[in-house]
Structure 1
Amino acid sequence: MTLLRTALLTSMGALALAACGDSKTDPAKEQAAIAKVAAPAGKSWSQTVTVTPEGGYAMGNPEAPIKVIEYASLTCSHCADFSNTSHEELKRDFVDTGRVSFEIRNYVRDPIDITAAAVIQCAPKERYFALMENAMAAQAEIFANAQGNQAGYEAAMALPPAQRFPALAKAIKLDTFFQSRGMTAEQINSCLGNVANLEKLEKGVNAANEAYPIPGTPAFIINGQLAEGIGTWPVLRDRLKTLGAR
């Protein structure tokens, strides 16, 4: 990973064509149905968010028998499709039952991705999933803003890292995107001007590649094992049901 040193993927077309996961199936043996587990009084499991030692964000019952990790990129169209089609049903029918915990680990692939991911991770942890969903839903708008100011994008990428990412956020209007969702300009600039926040995301990708043969994004880990052939919500939903989340 060299996102902090070079202007990777400055072509918007390259972003659109970068590798995403496939959707071939990998059958799993049907397991017995798992009983629901009630959340603590006054809470729902989908509102229970923790930051994991690996730098991911997990929602749900920490003791859930089915633990799902998604490696997600904010500039992957398949990740956006998964987010847009899954989040309500995933929370309601799986996470809130206490049967499934769901963790996202940002798998950053390009300058736009790492910029947006860093800002989201600088927000309070309780806002993480909502901001990820917002950014995924606005992926086409974010790309359009970048395409509309290619000169500003390239000028930002020529700056040293501490100036590069605040300038990039401004050039492609990510700053106003997140300001409209409750973050201040000062918070965004401080977050992106701290190179350690960007380095942490790069280290997360390197750790993922060492731990698993990540085939593309989205990639899913279920109970510690890479789940082959899951790239869409219907396929993951069926797999969770097969594993007893029903």
Structure 2
Amino acid sequence: MSIYDFSAETLEGKAMSTAVAADGGYLIGNPDAPIKIMEFGALSCSHCAEFSEKGFPKLRDEYIASGRVSFELRLFLLNMLDMPSVLLATCGTPEAVIPLSEQFWGWQPQMFTNLQANNDAVQQAASLPPEKRFGGIAQVSGMSEFFASRGVAAAQGATCLADTAKATKLAELNEKWSKEFDITGTPTFFINGNKTGVANWEELEPMIQKAGAR
């Protein structure tokens, strides 16, 4: 499967499509699965990147592919880097959001390298009005180039980055999640609606198994 083909992820002969959850998340796997995992993750979060590398492949290929586990990703906003990255990650089809997010977490160290090398430009971009700020940060950090190389055309990305109405809705949704689910950091995981209190795969996997996943 090409990295540009996000219509479905095929695992063990099964097509894994993506659904947009009622409250703004992106869900893969059997929507009627008895074990439902939800992650609040920020694209700028290094611990989220660690989970993406160490845990998500096994979660996807073994547990979600079995049909007994579903996974919902809710992209959370922690700092000024998250709004432009979420606007770009959600700029295309719903099917692209989770694959793009996972790839972004793998690329994240390069983003931080770019930011350190261009600190003055970052600060200048951060001071711009919102309709220009997100695009400025995306350009300086390398986000725009990253997403363009994965199917989000430059013009399409620029339009999404200038969408202040969507940015406002994302910020409002973020505030709602923060209060409703008591999100104080990322990643935060829930299993069947219960907050796990763990933030890494080594501790999460036994909890998934205890819930009945094999």
Q: TM-score, normalised by structure 1?
A: 0.79
What's 2:91 paired with? 122
2:201 is aligned with 1:233: yes
Q: Structure 1 residue aligned with 2:39, among 46, 70, 74?
A: 70
Q: CA deviation at 1:210?
A: 1.7
Between structures 1 and 2, the one with greater strand share: 2
Q: Structure 1 residue aligned with 2:66, among 80, 84, 97?
A: 97
What's 1:143 paired with? 112
Q: More deviation in 196-205 or 173-182?
A: 196-205
C-alpha separation between the residues in 2 aligned to 1:215 and 1:168? Answer: 24
Q: CA deviation at 1:221?
A: 1.4
- What is the aligned residue count? 203
2:179 is aligned with 1:205: no
The superposition leaves residues 50-74 of structure 1 with CA deviations (integer Å, 9 ceiling, x where unpaired) of: 0111111010101011111100011
C-alpha separation between the residues in 2 aligned to 1:43 and 1:124? Answer: 22
The superposition leaves residues 20-58 of structure 1 with CA deviations (integer Å, 9 ceiling, x where unpaired) of: xxxxxxxxxxxxxxxxxxxxxx9725x221011111101
Matched residue type, 1:175: S
Q: Quick check: 2:91–2:152 contact (8 Å CA) kept in 1?
A: no
C-alpha separation between the residues in 2 aligned to 1:113 and 1:144? Answer: 16
C-alpha separation between the residues in 2 aligned to 1:43 and 1:58? Answer: 19
Sequence identity (%): 34
What's 2:14 paired with? 44
Unaligned regions of 5+ residues in structure 2, if any? 1-11
C-alpha separation between the residues in 1 aligned to 2:121 and 2:144? Answer: 14
C-alpha separation between the residues in 2 aligned to 1:142 and 1:81? Answer: 15
What's 1:220 paired with? 189
What's 1:24 paired with? none
**TM-align CA RMSD:** 1.4
Unaligned regions of 5+ residues in structure 1, if any? 1-41
Q: Quick check: 1:106–1:204 contact (8 Å CA) kept in 2?
A: no
The superposition leaves residues 131-190 of structure 1 with CA deviations (integer Å, 9 ceiling, x where unpaired) of: 111110111110111111111111111111011111111111111111111110111100
Q: Quick check: 1:162–1:192 contact (8 Å CA) kept in 2?
A: yes
Name segments (4+ residues, structure 1) moved above 4 Å: none
C-alpha separation between the residues in 1 aligned to 2:13 and 2:154? Answer: 32
Q: CA deviation at 1:201?
A: 2.1
Q: CA deviation at 1:200?
A: 2.4
